[in-house]
């Protein structure tokens, strides 16, 4: 997890719920650096996956895979705590 407090969420990167993507909540993603770390970890572990990570909403959206367990493991391996958000 990122220990910095200098990074700010990047404007215009809001993740919206996409029914064709896996969406996870990552409460400990606090800045753009965290979002970049998560995106790089998932994309490296799942070549071809496209990741959007938004620190403002704490949502990570992954297209190009349906393997939820793998995505969770990659995010956890990067030092973050993913959860599946409640539908609503």
First to last CA, the chain: 28
pTM: 0.80
| CA dihedral sign, ordered 9, 49, 62, 74 | negative
Question: Mean of the per-residue pLDDT values for the chain?
Answer: 86
List pLDDT tens digits, range 1-13. 566 554 444 444 4
List pLDDT tens digits, range 11-22. 444 555 567 799
Structure confidence at residue 11 (pLDDT)? 45
Closest CA to 25 of 2, 57, 51: 57
Which domains are delineated in the chain?
22-83 (3.30.70.100)
List pLDDT tens digits, range 20-75. 799 999 999 999 999 999 999 999 999 999 999 999 999 999 999 999 999 999 99
For 76, residues 6+ apart whose C-beta sits below 8 A from its C-beta are 82
The alpha helices in 1-88, defined as continuous H runs, are 32-45, 68-77
State the Cα–Cα distance between residues 29 and 37, nearest whole angstrom: 9
More confident residue, 85 or 8: 85
């Amino acid at each position: 997890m990122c220990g910095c407090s200098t990074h700010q969420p990047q404007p215009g990167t809001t993740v919206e719920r996409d029914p064709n993507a896996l969406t996870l909540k990552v409460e400990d993603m606090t800045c753009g650096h965290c979002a970049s770390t998560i995106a790089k970890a998932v994309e490296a572990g799942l070549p071809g996956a496209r990741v959007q990570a938004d620190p403002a909403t704490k949502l990570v959206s992954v297209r190009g895979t349906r393997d939820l367990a793998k995505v969770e493991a990659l995010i956890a391996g990067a030092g973050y705590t993913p959860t599946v958000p409640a539908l609503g």
